Chains A and B, each alone.
Chain A
Amino acid sequence: MDRLVIDHVSKHFGKTAALQSVSLQIGHGLFGLLGPNGAGKTTFMRVLATLLAPDSGSMRYKDIQWGKQPERVRNILGYLPQNFNVFKNISGYECLDYIGVLKGLRDKKQRRAQIETLLERVNLTAEAHKKTGHYSGGMKRRLGIAQALLGNPEIIIVDEPTAGLDPEERIRFRNVLREVAAGRIIVLSTHIVEDIEATCSSVAVIKKGIATQFDSLSKLAQEAAGHVWLWKVRPEQAVDLQSKVNVISSTTTEDHVELRVLAKESPSREAIPVSPTLEEGYLIWNQR
């Protein structure tokens, strides 16, 4: 299986190091890139999408070298940026047609066939000929993923795709990603852990330009092993405890509140250790 190999890639903006010697090996399927705001995710995605040239390091996939053959890279790439929008005065179909041409789909019939298939896949067939100015946020995102899939790219880069989407749209989006992941590499960058959890098989976390890869989600979750406690308290206690301990989440039942607390040691005799979730593993990793 061909892997996307990223080897000690760095990128600086002036004195600021946006990426510091990032090394990853990404195989087929959905790969998540998790990190807080300002960690370097978008910079990394742009480097991958050949919008920015790295200051050092290399990236390669099969026999394609990013630095030397950016045109070849673009031919196998689909990119959905964080801020994706389109001309308001064109329809979704026209937008895809235009991007299809830019992607080198010269044959009109083939292009049309692909566009129609993709529109169906992202459930935009009914609105295909409406002006995008009338599209909702979710529809624009779906259009975005459709354009990223144009040309049947081998690598798809998706940057914060579900930000601002309602739960239904988010689920639909994840389903689309899962459907198309077979046989290609999809790099999904997000700070929403749920998205990673729901779709990805492996993940990397990035912080201040430094990335750490985890072969499975459970490995990241295990970072928080022994640090997560379940503590049942009275409701009036819960309010007080919010400021004293690191409460990750709380579930309110009829007579008590269940707090999930992140701590090196047990915060109380009543607190019991539990298996960490991916989010908790990420939080612990991030705190280091």
Chain B
Amino acid sequence: MMNMEFKQYRRGVLIWIAIALLTVYLPIGYYHFLNDLMQVGQFLQSSGYIGMASALFGLFFGILISRREQEAGMAECLASAPGSALRNLSKLLAWGAICFILMAIASIEVMLMIWFSGSEYLSFAYKVILYIFLYWGMTLFSCGVLGFAIGELLGQSWWKLPLVLLVWFAISPFNMLFSRYIPVNVLSWLNQGEQDLGSAYNGVEGLYLAYSFIAKKTAFLAVCLTLAFASVLIRQEREPSLKEKRTLAAAVAGCLIIFAIFVAEAKSPLSAYKAPLNNYMDLYLSQDGEYYSANGSSKTEMSPPAFEVDRYDLDIKHTLNLINYNAQMRVSHVAPSLTSLRFTLYHNLEVKQAEVDGKPARWKRDGDWLYVDWPEGKVEGDVSFHIKGSAGANNPISETSFFMSSAFPWYPVPGTWIVAEKFDLFYEPQYNHIALSKPASFHISIHANERTYSNLPKQADGTFAGQSSGATVLSGMLMDKNVGGYQIVGPPDRIDEVGSAIEKVEQTKNHLSSLLGIKAPDMPKQIMVVPSFSFFPNYYMQLGEDELFVNELITRNPYTVENIARMESVFQAFFWSNRYRINDEQNSYIFRMILEYMESPNKKGTTLSHQVREIERQGDRAPATAYLARDILQFYNNQGEKGLKRLVRAAYQLSDARTLDFSDWKKLMDRSY
């Protein structure tokens, strides 16, 4: 029976057209992308339309398959044969085989192109192939099964065509056009393609092959199979026997059960936020922005710790966009009068349980601060927490990646610190550099589907241990390489570019060091490309405790990656945000504004000039920074570049001691005159 099915495919023209189209389009598309210096991941994600074409092809082809015998006038004769009950099954199996062959051809083509172009995605071959099979192949197969059901049920009725178009639209990314009228969750589940066709590919998150997506595909396939079996039950060429009815009914029931199981698993945390947010970054920024606007930075109880943590044992599990871990800490040097230990832990990481020396302890949360009761007089002991949650915009966790920085309280950090502040100047909250005051011993176990990395030495797969003032963990579609003496972890095909940009960062850092008159911090030997933590150019880098984090956003294009070496970017990372500094975003902005002005050949296009133009535009309503910018511009016109450099150096050295305000800037400029 399968033999006959394959004959029909071979002797028909459509499958050959499909193979020809695939064979022609993929290399053309890939060549196109290579010319634009876009990489494999972006190419695959942008080829999401292939999934849509597969869906349409599958739907119509399924109708053809179901109607084949009727169109040929052979149905009645075959229906009387004993083996006829298996014909429909053999059709579906043969269709599955054809889909497999088509996807195998596509996979081979894509892998050959990756190999020819020397791409590092070769080491992620299994992911690329899985992507092709899931996004294109499974869509093609499921839609073929669904088209079969439509063909069986509607026969020769013209309603087939509008139904196919409706189904195709409903399962495409375009269905979000109706997000105002239909729940986003439903639309997101129906969408069998990319979440957002136009979105840029995130190299760290990698290809979206999360379990929830696989579950969604399986659930959709189960629905299609349900409909196919039901259609055969309802509309056979002959009346089914009791045994056949029972078998088909059992098949329908089985598929429905599979659907029920997987549809529950198919819920991605992001699907509820699909409109207007497009990705976790937007979601977290929005959440953090709201939180830190409402919970301002006026806390007065912040204080350094009155105890030390000598050791951290962290056992981390990554599921969906959350981490779930046990943190066991060895606390020592506790001040005798202390009855409560104060920690800083990002507010969205919820504490489920607390124990002191193995006994349940009372604990309390106050925003980003965590208090746990401590027996008075006890000098040392063990504290453990069970923690679950997400780590915000600065340390984004998605379904396929996560990043937790050594300069961020993703584990309880002794003392009460301001984690982030929200200023009027920026949409994004500004996160403060928070690390342990004294190095501690870390032992971390990570259970994740993707490769994991850390600033700590690797002990085994997923296990890291060592001494540090902070622990970084990073997971995603990543690889590591030594480039120019730096150990760089990043997405494939991006590491070399980052390596060459780092050399320029080193140069800029040294230049700034002499400009500001201070010794530059050492360039860490560990460089990590991490999930985007900011959309702003100034935040292309962050300095951890002993590693440098590069924002994945800037590495998407080989031309733009060099922008990390710009003065305002290097300044922000190495000379401002690299230490705990609060209420001072304004001055960071001013410094960056001046440095950008100094560096840019096009002065009129700089932030400084733009601020000055705000005075013309808004008059009295212009912000104070605009007037300061005007003064700085005048200062530059009078004193030139040297004067500006002197101003920057003096201001920076003064900012070490305290927070500057506008009058300080003005005084410094007057003094320079």
A contact residues vs B (CB 8 Å cutoff): 46, 49-53, 70-71, 74-75, 77, 79-81, 83-90, 94, 98-99, 101-104, 144, 147
Contacts and interface: CB of A to CB of B under 8 A. Distances in A.
Contacts of A71: 82, 241, 243
A92 to B, nearest CB: 13
B69 to A, nearest CB: 8
Interface in B48-77: 68, 72-74, 76-77
B238 A52 contact: yes
Nearest to B237: A51
10 contacts: A46-B238, A51-B79, A71-B82, A71-B241, A75-B82, A81-B80, A89-B8, A102-B81, A102-B84, A144-B77
- Chain B CB within 10 Å — which of A49, A52, A77, A94 has the most? A49
B74 A74 contact: no
B667 interface: no
A90 B7 contact: yes
B83 interface: yes
Contact of B7 (A51, A94, A103, A147): A94
A99 B75 CA distance: 12
A80 B77 contact: yes
A14 B79 CA distance: 23
A248 B20 CA distance: 64
Given A71-B243, A102-B82, A104-B83, A79 B1 contact: no
Nearest to A106: B83
A77 B12 CA distance: 32
A77 B4 contact: no
Nearest to B239: A53
B394 to A, nearest CB: 63
Interface in B1-30: 1, 3-4, 7-8, 11-12
A85 B71 CA distance: 9
Nearest to B85: A71
B32 interface: no
Contacts of B3: 98
Given A52-B238, A70-B241, A89-B8, A103 B82 contact: yes
Given A51-B238, A52-B239, A53-B239, A79 B80 contact: yes
Contacts of B83: 101-104
Interface residues of B, number: 26
Given A74-B84, A89-B8, A102-B82, 10 more contacts: A50-B238, A52-B239, A53-B239, A83-B76, A84-B73, A87-B68, A87-B72, A89-B12, A94-B7, A102-B84
Interface in B434-460: none
Interface string B82-116: 11100100000000000000000000000000000
A99 B78 contact: yes
B80 A51 contact: yes
Contacts of A147: 77
A74 B8 contact: no
Interface string B584-622: 000000000000000000000000000000000000000
B6 to A, nearest CB: 12
Interface of B: 1, 3-4, 7-8, 11-12, 68, 72-74, 76-84, 87, 237-239, 241, 243
B80 A85 contact: no
Given A50-B80, A101-B83, A104-B82, A87 B1 contact: no
A18 B68 CA distance: 28
A74 B1 CA distance: 17
A88 B69 CA distance: 11
A150 to B, nearest CB: 9
A49 B239 contact: no
B82 A49 contact: no
Contacts of A88: 72
B3 to A, nearest CB: 8
Nearest to B5: A98
A46 B87 CA distance: 19
Contacts of A80: 77
Contacts of A51: 76, 79-80, 237-239
Contacts of B82: 71, 74-75, 102-104
A87 B68 CA distance: 8
Contact of B77 (A52, A81, A89): A81
Contacts of A74: 80-82, 84
B511 to A, nearest CB: 75
A66 to B, nearest CB: 10
A88 B74 CA distance: 10
B73 A85 contact: yes
Nearest to A76: B82
In the A-B complex, the 5 residue pairs with the closest CB atoms: A85-B73, A102-B81, A102-B83, A51-B238, A79-B80
A86 B74 CA distance: 5
Contacts of B79: 51
A144 B3 CA distance: 21
B471 to A, nearest CB: 65
Nearest to B86: A102
B530 to A, nearest CB: 57
A50 B242 CA distance: 13
B238 A102 contact: no
A99 B81 contact: yes
A77 B81 CA distance: 8
A136 to B, nearest CB: 15
Contact of A81 (B4, B7, B76, B239): B76
Contacts of A86: 72-74
Contacts of A102: 1, 78, 81-84, 87
Contacts of B237: 51
A83 B70 CA distance: 11
